[in-house]
A and B are shown apart, each in its own frame.
Chain A
Amino acid sequence: EAGVAQSPRYKIIEKRQSVAFWCNPISGHATLYWYQQILGQGPKLLIQFQNNGVVDDSQLPKDRFSAERLKGVDSTLKIQPAKLEDSAVYLCASSLVRLMNTEAFFGQGTRLTVV
């Protein structure tokens, strides 16, 4: 079974530029998550999708971040314009159903550096 795929693995951009991250979840997984993990901290949920609908985006900085999940499968996360404090690892995860007694599977993440 293929895992969660993310690209790119690394990205360096200047502040005020735009960047987009892509995620392909495990086939059949209805729930998809985007997390931001700042160095030395645990992940912080940015947005959660159930199929192609948004379940929770309360911690997504909507003035600069946007996300969509196309046809309930792939997802993209965009930052426009980027700030220095956006430097972090962006993790995508998916689960078969909404979490309670089933684990989430994570991709390897995209490490973003904003200079």
Chain B
Amino acid sequence: AQKITQTQPGMFVQEKEAVTLDCTYDTSDQSYGLFWYKQPSSGEMIFLIYQGSYDEQNATEGRYSLNFQKARKSANLVISASQLGDSAMYFCAIVDSNYQLIWGAGTKLIIKP
């Protein structure tokens, strides 16, 4: 069965610093996809970035990049130049060959001014 582990329940980061949110996964599928979503206090899940298991390049979307290390089954999210509006819950999720999203428990990120 697929599993996502996010080991950081919470993080405090100074504004404008870079932050890395950890995500490790466990799957026996050869083909899978990894997502990161942001959930602000308003409750909506906001898509940030996607990495396919066969993608050779690390995904990037603006200030977000994904440090994908397939052999280590790691897909860490890097946010550069953090902003106050980045304060939110961040979830890592894997989609398996059954097209199901399996979610981690999330990391609460707080950006300090």
Contact = CB atoms under 8 A, between A and B. Distances in A.
Main secondary structure of the interface of B (DSSP, over half): strand
Interface of A: 31, 33, 40-45, 48, 55-56, 89, 91, 93, 98-101, 103-109, 111
Nearest to B46: A106
B105 A100 contact: no
Contact of A101 (B4, B43, B45, B52): B52
Interface residues on B, range: 20 to 34
Contacts, number: 61
B104 A42 contact: yes
Given A43-B103, A56-B100, A103 B35 contact: yes
A105 B35 CA distance: 12
* 10 cross-chain pairs, A with B, having the tightest CB-CB distances, nearest first: A42-B103, A106-B45, A98-B99, A103-B47, A109-B43, A99-B95, A108-B44, A99-B99, A43-B103, A108-B43
Contacts of B37: 106
Given A56-B100, A101-B33, A103-B50, A42 B93 contact: yes
A93 B45 CA distance: 9
Contacts of A91: 43, 45
Nearest to B95: A99
A109 B42 CA distance: 9
A100 B52 CA distance: 8
A31 B100 CA distance: 11
20 contacts: A31-B99, A41-B105, A42-B103, A42-B105, A43-B103, A55-B99, A56-B98, A89-B43, A91-B43, A91-B45, A93-B45, A98-B99, A99-B99, A100-B99, A101-B33, A101-B52, A103-B47, A104-B45, A104-B47, A109-B43
B44 A106 contact: yes
A107 B31 CA distance: 28
Interface in B61-103: 91, 93, 95, 98-101, 103
A106 B37 CA distance: 10
B42 A108 contact: yes
